[in-house]
Amino acid sequence: MSVQIGPYKLDSIALLAPMAGTSDKPFRMLCKSLGAGLTTSEMVVIQDHLLNTNKSKYRLNFEGEKTPISIQIAGSEAQELALAAQKAVEFGADIIDINMGCPAKKVCNKASGSALMQNETLVKNILESVVSAVSIPVTLKMRTGWDADNKNAPTIAQIAEQAGIQMLSVHGRTKADKYNGMAEYDTIKSVVNQVSIPVIANGDITSAQKAQQVLDYTQAAGIMIGRAAQGNPWIFSEVNHYLNSGKISDPVPLKEQKSTILEHIAQIHVFYGDFLGLRLARKHILWYATHLDKNHMQQFWQTINKITDREQQFTLFENYLNQL
């Protein structure tokens, strides 16, 4: 089983979802090493006045990452996104992903993200403009629609295919749903039936067995994992093993998990530096602690969350892991 995006044949059909605040360089590289077939950057608004900001500096650093490098761009106008795509190529993109999936208010208030799905003419203009602006594959991440009465993903999928989009990722919720309720896969199944390009199913895929169920039901070309990878990046190797063998893989030894976790935290510290690294490591520490020690992590979290020294944070977390 594989997914083809332009000239790129992915090693795995389990992909990491682009998530703001999560899919940064250290996390992408970790998930790729554990079996993610493709990792896509956090969404980035590539405009000249934003390129010198710290956020853009970190989000547009792909040094040392394996190809294909997928950069997700966000915006609300066709020309703006076409220029952003060209800039993304300069930063090393092998694949451009267009964000029409983010439900966040600050994104949707600017009529970008999933809000774009309300204007199919604009969607067509954006997709055609971006595809014609670059010579690399362009993919699209979207939702099922903007609310329960307007699930127009199948229509937008057809527009996307005609515009030259080479892969679609569909989150099984509407814009109005945000991340509430359960993801549904009927609409994703409809999208698969409407187009001949690869469709990736996304939403509530939390285990290897669930990945197989979603693939069987939707007949999608692959699955995309988002929040379930937070604190559990090993989910990619678990999914790959199950899809290839039909068997649940043996648990990753705790010693190996601890080593991987500490290396990830160290990479966050190195990449972002002392001040920002310490702060951005906190959420990953919380996710890892929750994954490994749900019953006893609360007291530890209250302690480590107050630490303001990077080395102290690392040592405290290392000691905590060694006690498990």
Write out the catalytic residue numbers: 102
Omega of the bond leading into 68 within 30 degrees of 0 (cis): yes
Residue with tokens 């648990």: 251
Residue 14 is given by DSSP the state E
Q: Strand locations in the chain, DSSP E? A: 4-5, 8-9, 14-16, 70-73, 95-100, 138-143, 167-171, 199-202, 222-225
Contacts of 2 (CB under 8 A, 6+ apart): 9, 10, 11, 12, 13, 37
List C-alpha distances in Å: 135 to 67, 72, 196, 204. Answer: 16, 16, 21, 33
Q: In the structure encoding, which two tokens stand for residue 120, read together?
A: 């199919």
d(CA 114, CA 58): 24
Contacts of 196 (CB under 8 A, 6+ apart): 161
List C-alpha distances in Å: 148 to 145, 172, 184, 192. Answer: 8, 11, 11, 19
